[in-house]
Amino acid sequence: MEREIDKKNVILQNDENRGQVQIADDVVAMIASLAATEVKGVQALSGNITNELMSRVGVKKLTKGVKVEVVENNVTINLAVTMEYGYNIPSTCTKVQDKVKTAVENMTGLNCTDVNIRIIGVK
């Protein structure tokens, strides 16, 4: 039984014998962020430094530039991306959309209906 409990969490599973599984919107945003920055040609999300550098300094907030909307069992993801120079933008964006959709669906069980990308720069 999936239902939204507030704007920040959604219940993925509600079982009387085992309890309840909830997922925060920030977790979905984190999954989308990590998946997007794994694609070659993506410099960063919303001007962030790359995951490698962030992991070195211990920063865990990678959700800047990611907006997630979860309604019932459906999720819409909006990404603000900085591209690397020399990569084909439409091709790279298609790869990002596929990777983000697959990662979110496999890890959360939610149905990823849209992955919208806005290119905010090229480096």
* DSSP class per residue in 96-110: HHHHHHHHHHHHH--
pLDDT over 50 at 30, yes or no: yes
How would residue 61 be classed by pLDDT, with cut points 50, 70 and 90?
Answer: low
pLDDT over 90 at 74, yes or no: yes
Tokens of 72: 């019932």
Tokens of 9: 């969490």
How would residue 16 be classed by pLDDT, with cut points 50, 70 and 90?
Answer: confident
Exposed, middle or buried by CB within 10 Å (0-12, 13-18, 19+), for 52? Answer: exposed
Over residues 8-30, mean pLDDT = 82
Q: How far apart are alpha carbons 22 and 99 in whole angstroms? A: 23
All domains in the chain, ordered by first residue: 24-122 (3.30.70.1350)
Element (H, E) at 11: strand 9-15
pLDDT over 50 at 5, yes or no: no
- How do residues 84-120 score in pLDDT, each as one tens digit? 999 999 999 999 999 999 999 999 999 999 999 999 9
| Chain centre distance of CA 55 | 17
The answer to whether 48 touches 64, Cβ cutoff 8 Å, is: yes
pLDDT cut 90: percent of the chain above it:
57
Tokens of 28: 């979905």
